[in-house]
Amino acid sequence: MRIIAGTNKGARIFAPKGHDTRPTSDRAREAAFNLIGPVDGATVLDLFAGSGAMGLEALSRGAASAVFVESDREALRAIDRNLDKLRLTGARVIPQEALRALAAETAAGRRYDLVLVDPPYEMFSSLQTGLSRYLPAVLADDGLVVVETAQREEPELPPLHKRTTRRYGRARITIFENL
């Protein structure tokens, strides 16, 4: 895996060992950021961060800050190694289950321009209700939520509006926004 664009373009990043984490492919990550557009100065929340590839990509492309939320120890180690290697600033790592962290961010009144949601594919349907409850509260007025699911999954996150959805190999990238 590597960073696609920005100040760290081409840099290889670490992925957690084992099969518990499925990193977003370079192709899908590039496609997602083409759909998102410029992220200069954005505040980013990377839920189910895994290796941190999506949040790292955002920081490399000019995002002001990124919060990485991950509960797996190997994945947390990979995020820390990647942040050290790339010397990216503006990062905070929350070692916690995603919905619990999302509830805490909501309670703290924090808002994000870009929220990245990439849970294990088989977990998405069980997370939809919780995500729908908290995501609108943490999303900035003109912010975007980017969800990666299995290609056959059609995510819905009411009251958020689905802007677009595209398939890339085994993955589906869906972008939501506030109306």
Domain 40-177, what fold? Rossmann fold (3.40.50)
Domain locations along the chain: 40-177
pTM of the model: 0.96
| Per-residue pLDDT, 17 | 79
In 4-151, the DSSP E strands lie at 43-47, 65-70, 91-95, 112-117, 139-150
From first to last of its 179 residues, the chain has per-residue pLDDT tens of 899 999 999 999 999 876 566 777 788 899 999 999 999 999 999 999 999 999 999 999 999 999 999 999 999 999 999 999 999 889 999 999 999 999 999 999 999 999 999 999 999 999 999 999 999 999 999 999 999 999 999 999 999 999 999 999 899 999 999 87
Please report the pLDDT score of residue 20 as a whole number: 63
Are 147 and 173 in contact by the 8 Å Cβ rule? The answer is yes
